[in-house]
Chains A and B, each alone.
Chain A
């Protein structure tokens, strides 16, 4: 029965969309880093994408059920790892986000993200019934809340926030009642001041500068203002490759990583923006189509969870460039330079293709 999987059923369109976005990212990476101290990042990113490509195709051969069966110990290991990172990790740039493995540094929260997707999928695959109950909220809330708090303590609020859409999409799909939403909204509103209390000063600053952009012009809203100048100055056709003054002259911060889309929009203009947004849209819709046709609940939850976190990251990253959201350290999947992020995305794509391959199994 399981042998009905055929390689040509693999979702090549999904992979092609992802590769197209990654290619755009690599070109932009070249454009912003060429002849700078960061020029070496280009080679590394190409290697990561190629490695990711290989991993995703390889993972698609593995039955996702087999992966889901590993959830309990994967989860345990992740929580332990995050805890150990907090206790023993060496801070890099003031935060304990990375773990060094043989000369390479990994962002543990990217792996945790994948484990959360698997955990949520495993939980709801098990769960029967038309609607979720309060017990589910408590259980899953605790399961996801623990690693989220650990990541937030690193501190990496942005990554911690990416867990939220996974859980939210899971509950939505499993079935929530209106009263659930109402109570949760009330609770959330009550928790806001408490949450503010726990924010680090720089995180508060980012939020205040989001609300009042003119307050601190050299500080945190500077990044937002400079990225908006970059994007706006790009115009319709853009300034062309390697001609983005804002990104090449360092006005746009980390234009190769979190802010790569600002650099891209500056050089490729509205036309480029439109193209990349369409690519992302196609990728996300394709993932959700897969969820519609998935062979079982587990596959559907897996795809929705992955799509939810991708969508969240894309929307927040691209939105924060133009001031729709406060500036947070959320990378743009597939475009921002960074091994951990690329690895996570391609692992997720591998799982998604694994689900797609097995849609006719039963």
Chain B
């Protein structure tokens, strides 16, 4: 029965056909007991096909898992392990009493990891640049430049990442798994522009430095770019460590494997005394120029100021182009350390050199007297004294008086008597015309002209008249403020020249750094010479001379002023431009018999030397005040205890102003 029913039903189905709409529901049944059997070989064939396919698959897996296992394992490890540098903090820079001048604070850098095979296509670079607020063209150049570096070396895309940058990296881990953040130690200068020229600044290592053979630097490394940061970079810089971490596919850290700790850089204690530095900075104020304070007995630089200054903190971040251009195009050259790089005529300060040469060679005796009518004609040319404009001369002056009133005519005469060869010889022996060897980069050597020099430089003969200008520190003579301090300090110390330095030699030896070879140089001067010159300089300050403004009854200051013309008299008169104004110089030291401190001051466009004099006085005063404090009477401890108990025992109203908001 069911069979017949089935037949009928299937017949119906055939008639209705599959071609009709499937929505037409038909009842069907499928019973074909007497169907022709399906060919059994077909199913067996399918089974063989399946078995064969599985064999091929298995061979494929064998090749990967056995044959190329090592290579794929390496790739898997490279995927999950990321080598991150651990940035070593730079050493601090401290003043001689341990006060911090350069420090570090934690900041973040944005890194580009280059281990993953992700290709940085220009559109990707552009969107990264947008996200990090960088110039796309700059970033593209950086990516191209660093393409050749080993892949395990990450590249710093941006230093001092802002909160926005950090948020960008964290929120785009999926799109840019090759971006990462690295905690770094960013340089900071808590005293800002104070001693900026001495400290220098740090910045990203330059392409050229990386390119030099055996360069230990990677792009993005921070190195000292100027000042002490540069000259003692190897001492201050630490050795970066390395951290192997496990990351996921989005570059997020999932764990840490090994860590090679960073070796922090060494701290550097300077000879600089922040108190004197502050006194010098304040003394110079807004005026462009430089102040250098040295201990001539040791060569220790106690203060070094160059104005206008810059804030080295600006460089700790990647400085923007605009700020850099502004600093570079400033006519007052804030990036220049004028204490060692100003190449200027010393003016009358040079008379100390001429005078020393004249006495030392025996050309004159201290009692040698010249009558000064305010001008003198030598070699057919009339040379005016600086008092000529006032319509008078200095009258009859001997060596002492000549230094006190800075009589030009006297030293014109000495110049004529000495001749250029002797002046140049002594100037060089007394520390001018060559680098002092201070431990700062790019020191200017200055210039002491000589017949040989004009032959070499200008291919001409020396003009006899030039000697007369040189004798009073004009003409081609050029010095730096440091050189003047070094020279005058050396002369006042009887011919002992200690190499100026900012870092204690013992400290360098302890750190295993070889200090500069030559530490001191002697050019013994006769006692009478030193005596006469010192007394002259003492007189300039204390006998109503040109340095009278440095006079302080409590201090034993000696010194010499200088007013250096930068252009000819005629030009100066015709165009009263600021840059044509005279440079004011003063080099003072104390005590006059055995100097402990020599201060050289340059006020550019200071018009007259008197602007420079009080600055040196203030620094010297600060030095001795501090010294007096440091060496209190023998019962110092008792005094201190008494003072403290006084403070502790007093009521608040006596100790200070009463709190207002009671």
Interface residues of A, Cβ cutoff 8 Å to B? 65, 68-69, 71-73, 75-76, 79, 122-123, 125-126, 128, 130, 139, 143, 169, 172-173, 175, 217-218, 225-226, 228-236, 245-246, 249-251, 265-266, 269-270, 273-274, 277, 280-281, 284-285, 288-289, 291-292, 296-298, 300, 304, 307-308, 311, 315, 318-319, 322, 324, 362
Contact = CB atoms under 8 A, between A and B. Distances in A.
B79 A265 contact: no
B76 A246 contact: yes
B57 A285 contact: no
Contacts of B51: 281, 285
B32 A250 contact: no
Contacts of B65: 231-232, 234-236, 265, 269-270, 273
A123 B22 contact: no
Contact of A235 (B30, B54, B60, B69): B69
A23 to B, nearest CB: 20
Interface stretch (B12-20, B223-231, B328-336): B12-20
Interface stretch (B33-41, B312-320, B399-407, B443-451): B33-41
20 contacts: A65-B31, A72-B24, A72-B28, A125-B32, A126-B10, A126-B13, A126-B30, A173-B42, A231-B64, A231-B72, A233-B75, A235-B69, A235-B73, A236-B69, A245-B76, A251-B76, A251-B249, A265-B61, A298-B32, A315-B54
A344 B69 CA distance: 36
**Residue among A72, A73, A235, A236 with max Cβ neighbours from chain B (10 Å):** A72
A149 B40 CA distance: 33
Top 6 closest pairs, chain A to chain B, by CB = A232-B72, A233-B76, A250-B249, A249-B248, A270-B65, A232-B64
B66 interface: yes
B532 to A, nearest CB: 83
Contact of A318 (B27, B36, B57): B57
A319 B55 CA distance: 11
B29 interface: yes
Contacts of A284: 47, 50
A270 B46 contact: no
Nearest to A308: B46
A300 B250 CA distance: 50
Interface string B56-80: 1110111011101101110111011
B58 A277 contact: yes
B163 interface: no
Contacts of A285: 47, 50-51
B35 A128 contact: yes
B254 interface: yes
B166 interface: no
A229 B54 contact: no
Contacts of A123: 18
A174 B71 CA distance: 48
Interface residues of B, number: 60
A350 B61 CA distance: 32
B276 to A, nearest CB: 59
Interface of B: 10, 13-14, 18-19, 21-33, 35-36, 38-40, 42-44, 46-47, 50-51, 53-54, 56-58, 60-62, 64-66, 68-69, 71-73, 75-77, 79-80, 117-119, 246-250, 254
B58 A122 contact: no
Task: Give the secondary structure class of A's interface.
Answer: helix
Given A249-B249, A274-B58, A288-B50, A173 B43 contact: yes
Contacts of B119: 217-218
Contact of A233 (B53, B72, B246): B72
Contact of B71 (A130, A232, A246): A232
A128 B37 CA distance: 11
Most B-side CB within 10 Å, residue of A79, A246, A249, A304: A249
A75 B38 CA distance: 26
B35 A296 contact: yes
Contacts of B249: 226, 249-251
B23 A139 contact: no
A255 to B, nearest CB: 10
A340 to B, nearest CB: 23
Contacts of B250: 250
Given A76-B25, A232-B76, 15 more contacts: A65-B29, A225-B117, A226-B249, A228-B64, A231-B64, A232-B75, A236-B66, A249-B254, A269-B65, A285-B47, A285-B50, A289-B47, A292-B43, A296-B33, A322-B57
Given A249-B254, A281-B51, A233 B28 contact: no
Nearest to A146: B22
Nearest to A139: B18
B23 A273 contact: no
A169 B65 CA distance: 32
B50 A229 contact: no
A128 B14 CA distance: 11
A322 B64 contact: yes
Max chain B Cβ within 10 angstroms of own Cβ: one of A229, A269, A285, A319 = A229
Nearest to B22: A76
Nearest to B124: A218
A220 B119 CA distance: 13
B80 A270 contact: no
